[in-house]
Amino acid sequence: MNKKQIYHQGTRKKVVHITTVHHPYDPRIYYKQCMSLAENGYEVTLIAQDTRDKTEVNNINHIRLKTYKSRLKRMLFGVWDAYKKAKEAKGDIYVFHDPELIIAASWLKRKNNTVIYDIHEDYVTSILQKKYLTPTLRKVAARGYKLIEKFFTRNMEKSLAEKYYKDIYPNGTCILNYPLMDKKFFEYDRTAKPLSNKVLYTGNVNGDRGAFIHANIPNINQNIKVQYVGKCVKSIAHQIMDVAKENKDNIQIMGVDQFIVKEEMEKMYTKENWLAGIAVFPPTEHYMKKELTKFFEYMNVGLPIICSNFPVWKEFIEKYECGIVVDPYNEQEINEALQKLIDNPEIGYEMGKNGKKAVASELNWEVEEGKLLDWYDQLLNKEVKI
């Protein structure tokens, strides 16, 4: 896509992204949206927690927020601080990424600007699955959140990271969380290295994301090792090792109590010729409808996928012929999938090629970037007419 400068009435337009929850170098926020906008002529400011000494990276101005260990303090003081800094930034377009910012973001709305709620998750379903709340409190909290969201976002635009969010937000605009096209991944030849007996999991590590099912894989097949790459709180790491029992030496976790930045995660994708990328999740309403971002990332580097046989996931895997689906509670099926790829490497390589082809043709950020830029141009033209 040709790069272009965005000027309206002689002024370069400013986009302000705000997050109090996400890491400032979150791939969707920083590497996709912020960098795409900066490279296409927007003045981009990111208001987020502090993690690096630099205040400007890749022409993106990072206004730093204090990091609070207490969630309550963050939701009170962090949100207020983010609001003040955002107001001072005088954005033409504000994009916020966290539910806790909804009310503060509504205060930023003016006749001559646009506020966008970038929706990363199905938050109502997520609240209903919070195990630390009683069933009654979950229902009350979910209903309360839904009412607050509906009232305070009524004058906002909505950016949707998942296709099925359209069922919840019919007026939202899908800017899907597809992977960045990376030349080094497309040129990476898995066959140049011996096939490993290791499977790779990337992303946040917790029970709903299959952490304990994955931990059991070395018990199912003692020839298989599991590599986790993603933030994993220490208590979860201990539970993973407890599940693996005497096979815990076949478990490696990169990311205990730390966020793994994009560059480090990318190095892991090509560190070995992984047997497969895994996402064997237990069935939860929150994940059963999602097309996981990690699917696209596994496909991008040419890894076959082993994942749960949820209907949406099964349809996706079969459409692109890029992996194997299994019953997450059927150890025999999981073992058969692993053994199939061990005994028939050519099958895994073919699945990997199919995945790469799908990413190159349609499932990539460059397609979504075009949609993002066209949408922003429409929003700015609407502002000018007001």
The enclosing domain of 191 has a CATH number of 3.40.50.2000
Q: Which of 127, 77, 129 is nearest to 104 (CA)?
A: 77
The reply to whether 153 and 245 lie within a common domain is no
Distance from C-alpha of 336 to C-alpha of 265, rounded to nearest angstrom = 28
The reply to whether 238 and 91 lie within a common domain is no
Q: Is the residue at 204 inside a domain?
A: yes
Predicted pLDDT at 369:
97
The reply to whether 142 and 209 lie within a common domain is no
Q: Is the residue at 2 inside a domain?
A: no
The reply to whether 252 and 267 lie within a common domain is yes
Predicted pLDDT at 57:
65
The reply to whether 157 and 233 lie within a common domain is no
Start-to-end Cα distance in the chain? 29
The reply to whether 172 and 215 lie within a common domain is no
Number of structural domains (the chain) is: 2
Predicted pLDDT at 289:
87
Q: Is the residue at 49 inside a domain?
A: yes
Q: Is the residue at 369 inside a domain?
A: yes
Torsion of CA 273, 275, 277, 278, to 10 degrees: -150
Amino acid type, 2: N
Q: How many helices (H) and strands (E) does the chain have?
A: 17, 16
CB 92 within 8 Å of CB 116: no
Q: Is the residue at 249 inside a domain?
A: yes
Helices (H), the chain: 35-39, 71-73, 79-89, 102-108, 123-128, 135-152, 183-187, 211-215, 217-220, 234-244, 262-269, 285-288, 293-300, 311-320, 331-343, 345-361, 365-385
Task: Please give the DSSP secondary-structure letter assigned to residue 155.
Answer: T
Distance from C-alpha of 200 to C-alpha of 155, rounded to nearest angstrom = 42
The reply to whether 202 and 321 lie within a common domain is yes
Scanning the structure block, which residue is given the tokens 């002529």? 41
Predicted pLDDT at 386:
47
Distance from C-alpha of 36 to C-alpha of 365, rounded to nearest angstrom = 10
The reply to whether 219 and 167 lie within a common domain is no
CB atoms near residue 41 (< 10 Å) = 15
The reply to whether 191 and 285 lie within a common domain is yes
Predicted pLDDT at 2:
44
Q: Is the residue at 125 inside a domain?
A: yes
Six-digit token pair at 34?
A: 């912020």
The reply to whether 112 and 234 lie within a common domain is no
Q: Is the residue at 1 inside a domain?
A: no
Length of the chain: 386
Predicted pLDDT at 236:
97
Q: Which of 116, 77, 71 is nearest to 96 (CA)?
A: 116
Task: Please give the DSSP secondary-structure letter assigned to residue 58.
Answer: T
Predicted pLDDT at 12:
80
The reply to whether 237 and 148 lie within a common domain is no
The reply to whether 286 and 354 lie within a common domain is yes
Q: Mean pLDDT per segment of 10 residues, for the chain of length 386 residues?
A: 51 93 93 96 95 66 92 94 98 97 98 96 87 88 95 97 94 95 84 94 96 98 97 97 97 95 91 97 90 94 97 97 98 98 97 96 95 96 63
Q: Is the residue at 253 inside a domain?
A: yes
CB 78 within 8 Å of CB 99: no
Full DSSP string of 309-371: --HHHHHHHHHHT-EEEE-TT-HHHHHHHHHHHHH-HHHHHHHHHHHHHHHHHTSSHHHHHHH
User: What angle do helix axes 311-320 and 345-361 make, rounded to 10 degrees?
Assistant: 90
Distance from C-alpha of 197 to C-alpha of 298, rounded to nearest angstrom = 16
Q: Which domain holds residue 275?
A: 183-361
Torsion of CA 199, 204, 210, 214, to 10 degrees: 30
Six-digit token pair at 349?
A: 């390589």
